[in-house]
Amino acid sequence: MQEQEKNIKGFNLLELLVVLSIVGILSAVAYPNFSSWYKEREVRQATVRIESLMKNLVIQTERGTFGYVQVYFDNDEDNGLTVSSKGMTMQTLASKINNSADPWNGDLIGTTRCDTTSPSGDTSYWDTDKDTISDDIKDSVYSITFTNVTTNFEGAAAVCFSRNGKFYDASDILNDGGAVVEYFFICRKTSQQVRCPIDNTGLTASPDNDGGGDDTDGGDLTEPEENTESVEEESVELPMPSSEVDNLRAVRWGRFGNFSISIFDNDYTFVEGERNWNGGTWKN
What's this model's pTM, rounded to 2 decimal places?
0.78
pLDDT digits (tens, 9 = 90+) for 76-89: 988 999 999 999 99
Residue 240 in this model has a pLDDT that exceeds 50: yes
Q: Which of 221, 260, 278 is nearest to 54 (CA)?
A: 260
pLDDT digits (tens, 9 = 90+) for 198-228: 987 655 556 555 544 344 444 455 444 444 4
Task: Give the C-alpha separation, 142 to 86, whole Å.
Answer: 8
Task: Give the C-alpha separation, 253 to 184, whole Å.
Answer: 9
* pLDDT on residue 219: 47
The greatest distance separating any two alpha carbons of the chain, rounded to the nearest whole angstrom, comes to 109
Task: Give the C-alpha separation, 40 to 272, whole Å.
Answer: 29
Phi first, then psi: give them for residue 56, nearest 5 degrees. -65, -35
Task: Give the C-alpha separation, 73 to 179, whole Å.
Answer: 18
* pLDDT on residue 123: 61
Higher pLDDT, 26 or 171: 171
- Average pLDDT rounded to a whole number, residues 136-155: 92
Low-confidence winner among 58-67, 168-177, 210-219, 261-270 (lowest mean pLDDT): 210-219
Q: Which residues pair with 249 in a beta bridge?
A: 186, 263
- Residues contacting residue 120 through CB under 8 Å, at least 6 positions apart: 102, 103, 104
Residue 34 in this model has a pLDDT that exceeds 90: no
Reported as type and span, the H/E element at residue 264 is strand 257-271
